[in-house]
Amino acid sequence: MKEITQSLRLSPSEIPNRIYGVENWAGGYFGVSEQGSLTVHPTRNPLMGVEVISLVQTLLQRRVAPPFLLRFPQILDTQIKELHEAFRNSIAEYNYGARHRGVYPMKVNQKRSVVERLMAAGHRYEYGLEVGTKAELAAALTLTIHPNALLICNGVKDRRYLEWAMLSKKIGKNPVLVMEEVSDLNKISEVSTALGIHPNLGIRVRVFSRGAGKWEESGGETSKFGINTIQLLDCLRLAADQGLARYLKMLHFHIGSQITDIRRIKNAIKEAARVYAKVYKMGFPTEYLNVGGGLGVDYDGSRTASDCSVNYSMQEFANDIVYTINEICQSENVPPPTIVTESGRAVAAHHAIFITNVIRTLNPGLGGSEINPSKVDSEVVREMMDIHKDINPKNFREYYHDALQHREELQSLFNLGYLNLQNRAQGEWLFWQICRKAIKFSRSMKERPEEFIDLENILASKYICNFSVFQSAPDSWALDQLFPIVPITRLTEEPTERATLCDITCDSDGQIDKFVDLRDVKQALELHGVNSEPYYLAIFLVGAYQESLGMNHNLLGSANEAHFLVDDSGRPHIDKVIRGESLGQVLASAGYTSQDLMESFRRMGQNAEAQLKISAEDREAFCESYRSALESYTYLED
Ligand SMILES: *Cc1c(COP(=O)(O)O)cnc(C)c1O
């Protein structure tokens, strides 16, 4: 499809940004070298970058096969610093009379290496943890966090959860048990009396102001979580009755994740700060105002309030929160609370990149060759040949419609038995050629008709990639979330193809057909023709939620993982390689233990051998291949 190339007329250095928007969503962490290779800058120093392709080559040399998840722990450090410095700046700017404390919500990415790195990077800010389940708490209890850091215990809790949360005080943690419903108070009171431990308590309060976009359901009046104003009063009364009022230290609000519009945040904070002030004045000296998560990531780089973007920066987020709380506390004449934030997405999204290799490309109607007119013995094919020859910028709409009709005719004649397979193939080949010409001519129209835009999308190539959407970018499937996707090389070469990406699951949903675009959403991604060289695509901003939500659909397991650090001279170092799941591991998770599999397999082979269906030698070879494959990667290896 040479025509795209001509109509774009971009200079090589414009390609990365104009086509892929790299600098819009890169957040300073990603770039493109003069040679057209994608680079990563984990400390945001433009001079300290490494080429992704060289990291891939390093892994290949170590016999680690694609697809890979590449982690850049220094990006986590940089994000943590930015978040805390943003709040420090705002606090200084508005003369805010209390502190900010961040906690990391574990559900965003529970991987040990990620959480440990975050805790280390956040140590000097007394960065803490937020957990929502017993399992997350079990992990959190063992992690080293600053002695002053908070351990916020959210979620629905049973007795054991409550016990562990309270006992964590005895091993040096600062738990805050956040109640999600009024009845939690009775349970807490029982466990607390039994253990003789008085933990700090919080109340998760529902806000009227909702988030917006794909994730809005978790906030708002009808949200699954939190208690409303009527219950809040009940809860406060009950706490006072049970002598627990002085342990009530936190009011917690969370309006949802990926809040795209800063106004929603301001409105929710106004409401939350008022609730805090009123509760304080009722004689409950709560110390912490926890504003939850919601700080969004600009996945498409558009800086708008569209679903996959945000119309504000981290600093603006901090400013609005600090300013609003300050104003309201002053007007209500209550002391300013310590502001707690639980931002996870914004902290973790950038640090991981997923790399997949293109296995092959499919193109509707490509292949086949020019038709020799003397070999055509069908009237309808001959008519299509005429259209193909005579279609031009003036008549293309009409001729295209004629071609559609001929194609239908071709199909019915074939079904009735009047055409042979050669006739049919010739007709189809001509039809796709006519479509391509029509698309080309339609590009010069001022108002391009919808049908040609659709046609162009139908004619997009399919690039089959070695990965599973369900495992590695599940939100792309579940929420139609956009992730930036870019080839890691050839970025100064004009792309000649438009493609959608298909994974190797057998699920028709296993594909990506929406791509980031500055103005809109692209239905196809501009890519290069694949030659004999491997062609790798990087999916960006997958560090938040994608790993914990990823699933082994079709028994494709987790991907090979590598952690890279970049030193002061800009050289990359592999910090760690973690092998992806093997066939044996994913099979075991579905109930087929390797031992059972091997025993059954051997038995079947022996039976077959006894019945003389297979030779002893072949049986042994098959058995050995089966055994060794249980340790191998679930993705395509060649
Ligand atoms: C999920 C969640 C968060 C994290 O939200 P982000 O938008 O990812 O920052 C914070 N707090 C609570 C209570 C949550 O459930």
pLDDT bucket at 213, cuts 50 / 70 / 90: low
How far is 634 from 452, CA to CA, in rounded Å? 40
Tell me which of 150, 254, 317, 545 to substitute to probe ligand 1's pocket, judged by most ligand atoms within 8 Å of the beta carbon.
254
**Is the domain of 468 the same as that of 427?**
no
Per-residue pLDDT of 323-340, as tens digits, reads: 999 999 999 999 999 999
pLDDT, mean of residues 139-168: 97
pLDDT of residue 423: 92
Per-residue pLDDT of 488-529, as tens digits, reads: 999 999 998 999 999 999 999 999 999 999 888 999 999 999
pLDDT of residue 215: 61
In the chain, DSSP finds a helix count (H) and a strand count (E) of: 23, 23
Of residues 375 and 629, the one with the higher pLDDT is 629
Backbone angles phi, psi at 23, to 5 degrees: -70, -15
Of residues 428 and 218, the one with the higher pLDDT is 428
pLDDT of residue 343: 98
Residue 105 CA, ligand 1 centroid: distance in Å: 6
In a domain, 464, yes or no: yes
**Is the domain of 436 the same as that of 393?**
yes
CATH (domain of 245): 3.20.20.10
**Is the domain of 469 the same as that of 599?**
no
**Is the domain of 479 the same as that of 358?**
yes
pLDDT of residue 219: 59
**Is the domain of 422 the same as that of 380?**
yes
Q: Given the CA of residue 154, which atom of ligand 1 is nearest to it?
A: 13
In a domain, 278, yes or no: yes
pLDDT of residue 48: 87
pLDDT, mean of residues 428-451: 91
Residue ending a domain, among 410, 437, 456, is: 456
pLDDT of residue 373: 81
Pick from 59-73, 200-214, 263-277: least confident: 200-214
Q: How far is CA 597 from CA 584, 611, 618, in A?
A: 9, 21, 18
Residue 361 CA, ligand 1 centroid: distance in Å: 39
Q: Given the CA of residue 347, which atom of ligand 1 is nearest to it?
A: 9
Residue ending a domain, among 578, 601, 618, is: 578
In a domain, 496, yes or no: yes
Q: DSSP code of 312?
A: S
Q: Given the CA of residue 348, which atom of ligand 1 is nearest to it?
A: 8
pLDDT of residue 1: 39
Tell me which of 178, 342, 347 to substitute to probe ligand 1's pocket, judged by most ligand atoms within 8 Å of the beta carbon.
342
Name the 3-class secondary structure at 334: coil
pLDDT of residue 140: 97
Give per-residue burial for 214-231: e unless 16+ CB within 10 Å, then b.
bbbebbbeebebbbeeeb
Beta strands in 215-261 (DSSP E): 248-252
Residue 178 CA, ligand 1 centroid: distance in Å: 14
In a domain, 88, yes or no: no
Q: State the DSSP H helix or E strand holding residue 474, giving kind and residue range, or none if neither.
A: helix 474-478
Per the CB < 8 A criterion, the answer to whether 199 and 166 are in contact is: yes
Q: Given the CA of residue 346, which atom of ligand 1 is nearest to it?
A: 9
pLDDT of residue 211: 57
Residue 222 CA, ligand 1 centroid: distance in Å: 17
Residue ending a domain, among 427, 456, 485, is: 456
pLDDT of residue 285: 87
Residue 94 CA, ligand 1 centroid: distance in Å: 26
Residue 109 CA, ligand 1 centroid: distance in Å: 11
**Is the domain of 209 the same as that of 128?**
yes
Exposed, middle or buried by CB within 10 Å (0-12, 13-18, 19+), for 103? buried
Q: Given the CA of residue 257, which atom of ligand 1 is nearest to it?
A: 7
Range of the domain at 68: 4-72+352-364+460-578
Residue having the nearest C-alpha atom to atom 5 of ligand 1: 293
Backbone angles phi, psi at 10, to 5 degrees: -100, 150
pLDDT, mean of residues 283-295: 96
**Is the domain of 325 the same as that of 177?**
yes
pLDDT of residue 376: 86
422 C-beta neighbours (distance < 10 Å), count: 14
Tell me which of 108, 224, 321 to substitute to probe ligand 1's pocket, judged by most ligand atoms within 8 Å of the beta carbon.
108
pLDDT bucket at 202, cuts 50 / 70 / 90: very high
How far is 165 from 130, CA to CA, in rounded Å? 12
In a domain, 320, yes or no: yes
442 C-beta neighbours (distance < 10 Å), count: 19
Residue 469 CA, ligand 1 centroid: distance in Å: 23
pLDDT, mean of residues 217-229: 72
Q: Given the CA of residue 256, which atom of ligand 1 is nearest to it?
A: 7
How far is 600 from 605, CA to CA, in rounded Å? 9
pLDDT over 80 (residue 222): no
Residue 437 CA, ligand 1 centroid: distance in Å: 50
Q: Given the CA of residue 345, which atom of ligand 1 is nearest to it?
A: 8
Q: Given the CA of residue 215, which atom of ligand 1 is nearest to it?
A: 7
pLDDT of residue 538: 98
**Is the domain of 291 the same as that of 414?**
no
Q: How far apart are the first and last CA of the chain?
A: 28
Ligand 1-lining residues (CB < 6 angstroms): 105, 107-108, 130, 154, 254, 257-258, 292-295, 342-345
CATH (domain of 526): 2.40.37.10
Of residues 223 and 576, the one with the higher pLDDT is 576
Residue 131 CA, ligand 1 centroid: distance in Å: 10
Residue 314 CA, ligand 1 centroid: distance in Å: 16
How far is 268 from 458, CA to CA, in rounded Å? 43
**Is the domain of 238 the same as that of 312?**
yes
Tell me which of 257, 265, 308 to substitute to probe ligand 1's pocket, judged by most ligand atoms within 8 Å of the beta carbon.
257
pLDDT bucket at 180, cuts 50 / 70 / 90: very high
pLDDT over 80 (residue 584): yes
**Is the domain of 110 the same as that of 222?**
yes
Give per-residue burial for 364-397: e unless 16+ CB within 10 Å, then b.
eeeeeeebeeeebebebbebbbebbeebeeeebb
In a domain, 85, yes or no: no
Residue 231 CA, ligand 1 centroid: distance in Å: 23
Residue 150 CA, ligand 1 centroid: distance in Å: 15
How far is 429 from 366, CA to CA, in rounded Å? 8
CATH (domain of 429): 1.20.58.930
Q: Given the CA of residue 343, which atom of ligand 1 is nearest to it?
A: 9
Give per-residue burial for 561-579: e unless 16+ CB within 10 Å, then b.
bbbbbbeeeeebeeeeeee
Provide the residue type at 585 as one letter: Q
Residue having the nearest C-alpha atom to atom 2 of ligand 1: 293
pLDDT bucket at 2, cuts 50 / 70 / 90: very low
How does the average pLDDT of the chain come out, rounded? 93
In a domain, 36, yes or no: yes
pLDDT, mean of residues 100-118: 98
Domain count of the fold of the chain: 4
In a domain, 99, yes or no: yes
pLDDT, mean of residues 540-550: 96
Q: Given the CA of residue 107, which atom of ligand 1 is nearest to it?
A: 1
pLDDT bucket at 5, cuts 50 / 70 / 90: very low
Reply yes or no: is the peptide bond before residue 42 cis, omega within 30 of 0: no
**Is the domain of 307 the same as that of 211?**
yes
Residue 132 CA, ligand 1 centroid: distance in Å: 10
In the numeric block, which tokens belong to residue 343? 């931002």
Q: How far is CA 116 from CA 146, 175, 342, 556, 576, in A?
A: 12, 18, 16, 27, 14
Give per-residue burial for 243-256: e unless 16+ CB within 10 Å, then b.
ebbebbbbbbbbbb
414 C-beta neighbours (distance < 10 Å), count: 17
How far is 53 from 357, CA to CA, in rounded Å? 12
Which of 559, 537, 546, 549 minimizes the C-alpha distance to 484?
A: 537
**Is the domain of 143 the same as that of 255?**
yes
Residue 241 CA, ligand 1 centroid: distance in Å: 32
Residue 243 CA, ligand 1 centroid: distance in Å: 31
Tell me which of 79, 101, 130, 548 to substitute to probe ligand 1's pocket, judged by most ligand atoms within 8 Å of the beta carbon.
130
Q: What is the 3-state composition of the chain as percent helix, strand, coil, each rounded to the nearest 5? A: 45, 15, 40
Per-residue pLDDT of 343-388, as tens digits, reads: 999 999 999 999 999 999 998 767 777 888 888 889 999 999 999 9
